[in-house]
Amino acid sequence: MANKPKVQDRDRRAKIEAMRKAEQAKERRKSMIFVIVAIVVGVGLVAAVAIPSYIKSKNDPAKKSMTSFGVSLAAASCSTVQTTKGTNTQALRTHVADGTIEQYKTVPPSYGPHWASPIYPSREFYTERDRPQMERLVHNLEHGYTLVWYDSTIKGDALQQLKDLAVSARTSDQAGPGQKFIVSPWDDAYGKFPAGKHIGMSHWGAADSHTELCGKVSGPAVDKFMTKYPATDAPEPNVA
């Protein structure tokens, strides 16, 4: 009978030890759950910032080629480039008084008298609400800019494609130093685009000037035009 209290004491200690270990295991499980939740929340927060940033970066038009936007060259319905010979003359490069309205020989203009100040610094894209004066834009042409014009039929997705194309074009080698590329809405007061044509391109070269008209927004068409007539080919290529 004397050993019975000792046995009971051992059993009691064993139960206490078992309870202690169970409690420790419970606390370890709680800690593990807390760590896992913290990791999941942390990863979620990082993903919430990183994923939209990645998507935005991936979709940034400045990081895409001009050929990524609009329809293919075959689907653009572009006309043959019209070239006007011998446009680098003093008479055609005359500065006229600000406010003078010129009647240009080509639609869209590719050379001719212009106001004394070009649009500078310029944005890559303008709307009908903030359209620069035509006579100032022609001065930009003299400095090597490629001008792309769009008429009022360019809306919705086509207009967004043109905006994105303008951003992309400003990063291209053809745009040259100073990013010499501008998209501006066309003004019918200077003549109407031919039927079926809604996009115009202009470049004033060192010897000759060039225009091309297309039916649809086409990055490949703009890329081809700028490659053939780069910013370095101009009466004043080294002026901003």
* CB of 234 closer than 8 Å to CB of 147: no
Q: For CA atoms 199, 225, 165, 231, give the dihedral sign.
A: negative
* The two structure tokens encoding residue 209: 């000037």
- What region does 46 belong to: left with phi over 0, alpha with psi -120 to 50, or beta? alpha
**pLDDT tens figures, 195-219:** 999 999 999 999 999 999 999 999 9
**Rounded mean pLDDT for each run of 10 residues along the chain, 240 residues in total:** 65 76 78 77 61 53 96 98 98 98 98 98 96 98 98 98 97 88 98 98 98 98 97 96
Domains in the chain: boundaries: 1-59, 68-228
Q: What is the pTM of this model?
A: 0.78
Residues 75-119 pLDDT 10s: 999 999 999 999 999 999 999 999 999 999 999 999 999 999 999
**175 within 8 A of 181, measured Cβ to Cβ:** yes
Q: 114: which strand partners? A: 95
DSSP state, residue 35:
H
Question: How far apart are alpha carbons 182 and 164 in whole angstroms?
Answer: 12
